[in-house]
Amino acid sequence: MNHHLLLNCAARGSSHLRRCAEAALSGEAGALFGVHDYCHEEGLLPMQSVKVGEKYLFRTFAHYYKGRVQSVSFTDIVLTNCSTVYEEGPLEQAFGKEGQTANEEHFPPAFEVVLNAAHVVAAIPYMGRLHGEASR
């Protein structure tokens, strides 16, 4: 969740929102739900740092996924041009010069793959070519 959003909620929100934001800032993950509900009701922007339209390599508990971010919410990250990467170990060993690995499963380019945001361990901007993208 965006740290600045939490600070603003702690400083300016209703008493309930302030308590939730302060608890979240102190490390209580369960307090994020109260902040999320408020932001959803007020129509505030998604609370993810991931940028729509950009390419990322996502590390989850099970696999890596790379793709272009179609949309982001508190609970989901939707990717297109997505591949599942079945690699373990250092990233530089997993990806060759072209950013491709021998152990990838490609989804159809327009297919939307929904990642559970709670399962994302890391989001790394990706500079390589994605499956289904034209060569430059």
34 lies in a domain? yes
7 lies in a domain? yes
50 lies in a domain? no
35 lies in a domain? yes
20 lies in a domain? yes
Whether residues 36 and 64 share a domain: the answer is no
Whether residues 75 and 37 share a domain: the answer is no
Contact 113, 67 (CB under 8 A): yes
Model pTM score: 0.64
Q: Which domain holds residue 70?
A: 55-125
Q: How many other C-beta atoms can be found within 10 angstroms of the C-beta atom of residue 52?
A: 13
CA dist 117 and 70 (Å) reads 14
Quick one: what percent of the chain has pLDDT higher than 90? 20
Whether residues 34 and 62 share a domain: the answer is no
pLDDT digits (tens, 9 = 90+) for 119-135: 888 888 888 888 888 76
Residue 102 maps to which CATH number?
2.30.30.100
More confident residue, 2 or 130: 130
**Alpha helices, H only, 3-131:** 3-12, 15-25, 32-42, 91-94
pLDDT digits (tens, 9 = 90+) for 57-96: 998 888 889 999 999 877 789 999 999 988 766 666 556 5
Whether residues 33 and 72 share a domain: the answer is no
Within 13 Å, how many C-alpha atoms sit on residue 25's CB side?
A: 15
More confident residue, 55 or 93: 55
131 lies in a domain? no
Whether residues 37 and 60 share a domain: the answer is no
135 lies in a domain? no
What DSSP character marks residue 28?
A: -
Token representation of residue 69: 């971010």
Whether residues 37 and 74 share a domain: the answer is no
CA dist 105 and 9 (Å) reads 41
